[in-house]
């Protein structure tokens, strides 16, 4: 029997006269890998920011279910791991120092955090890079470090925004394999992507978001049955046939400040340390 972890109930998010999300209701269960699929401007990043408490809904509620009790998500940020589209690494720190900075914020022991970091780094084939400054790292390397940073403290829920963007084929496969392993170990993952084929490879369930509304929510088989299609791509097109918004509407704050608003306090950042 599935156990609820996060409940989104009738959520809308407006930016002035723009409706980024409209009446979104979903339930996330423990142990699921859920694909959040949609094109640019669909509202995926806005929804992710609502799920981790960076944004507050204009209407509706987002609730984290903790031992049967509902709690606002901004009270349980230590239970979340987030990989935004922009990694936000400090370039003068080593990869491990970037990771340790966040595990310490979450109150985790360095020794245990290091053990988890090494295990995940081996899975991503970057163990030898942990003690190098991240300045000069490729986009793919930075993405892998951001992923390890998000899971090193052992979160209950992992939110991924385009986690394989900028990765080569081999690295993208390693990231997908690690995400699948987290799911097999009982973790809960929200995997946001505009690539339906990627979601189909690793997700137990797919939520299709289009123009700020949920068009479908179910397993790949259920989406095919709903649309009477034999191919998931055809099903997606059938569910999103109206004209898509041409530009993303998530305009309340720049993504570059995402991690700082989530986990950092101004007085914790050492003088002279750059954030990128």
Rounded CA gap, 62 and 84, in Å? 19
Please tell me whether residue 226 adopts helix, strand or coil conformation.
helix
Domain that holds residue 76: 4-265
Total domain count, the chain: 1
Short-list 128, 115, 124, CA closest to 146: 124
Short-list 37, 140, 146, CA closest to 84: 146
DSSP3 helix / strand / coil % (the chain, rounded to 5): 40, 25, 35
Position 147 in a domain: yes
Position 274 in a domain: no
pLDDT of residue 273: 45
Evaluate whether 242 touches 273 at the Cβ level (below 8 Å).
no
3-state SS track over 124-149: CCCHHHCCCECCCCCHHHHHHHHHHH
pLDDT of residue 245: 67
Tokens of residue 146, six digits: 């951001």
Position 39 in a domain: yes
Position 273 in a domain: no
Short-list 134, 99, 71, 106, CA closest to 262: 106
Evaluate whether 226 touches 216 at the Cβ level (below 8 Å).
yes
Contacts of 64 (CB under 8 A, 6+ apart): 5, 6, 70, 71, 72, 73, 75, 76, 79, 157
Position 271 in a domain: no
pLDDT of residue 75: 85
Phi and psi, residue 212, nearest 5°: 80, 10
pLDDT of residue 77: 84
Q: What is the CATH number of the domain that holds 243?
A: 3.40.50.300
pLDDT of residue 225: 92
pLDDT of residue 262: 52
Position 49 in a domain: yes
Taking 70 as the pLDDT cut, the residues of the chain under it are 1-2, 245-276
Position 276 in a domain: no
Position 134 in a domain: yes
């Amino acid at each position: 029997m599935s156990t609820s972890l996060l409940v989104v109930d009738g959520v809308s998010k407006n930016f002035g006269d723009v409706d980024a999300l409209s009446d979104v209701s979903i339930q996330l269960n423990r142990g699921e890998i859920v694909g959040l699929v949609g094109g640019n401007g669909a509202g995926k990043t806005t929804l992710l920011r609502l799920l981790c408490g960076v944004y507050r809904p204009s209407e509706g509620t987002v609730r984290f279910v903790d031992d049967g009790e509902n709690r606002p998500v901004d009270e349980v940020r230590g239970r979340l791991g987030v990989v935004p589209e922009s990694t936000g690494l400090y370039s003068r720190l080593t990869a491990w120092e970037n990771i340790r900075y966040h595990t310490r914020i979450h109150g985790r022991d360095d020794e245990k955090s290091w053990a988890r970091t090494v295990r995940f780094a081996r899975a991503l084939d970057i163990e030898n890079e942990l003690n190098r400054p991240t300045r000069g790292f490729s986009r793919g390397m930075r993405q892998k470090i951001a992923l390890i940073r998000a899971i090193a403290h052992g979160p209950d829920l992992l939110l991924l925004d385009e986690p394989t963007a900028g990765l080569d084929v081999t690295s993208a496969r390693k990231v997908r394999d690690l995400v699948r392993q987290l799911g097999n170990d009982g973790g809960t993952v929200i995997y946001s992507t505009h690539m339906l084929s990627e979601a189909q490879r690793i997700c137990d369930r797919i939520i299709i978001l289009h123009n700020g509304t949920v068009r479908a929510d179910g397993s790949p088989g259920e989406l095919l049955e709903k649309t009477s299609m034999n191919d998931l791509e055809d099903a997606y097109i059938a569910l999103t046939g109206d004209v898509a918004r041409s530009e993303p509407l998530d305009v309340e704050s720049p993504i570059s400040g995402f991690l700082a608003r989530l986990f950092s306090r101004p007085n914790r950042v050492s003088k002279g340390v750059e954030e990128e």
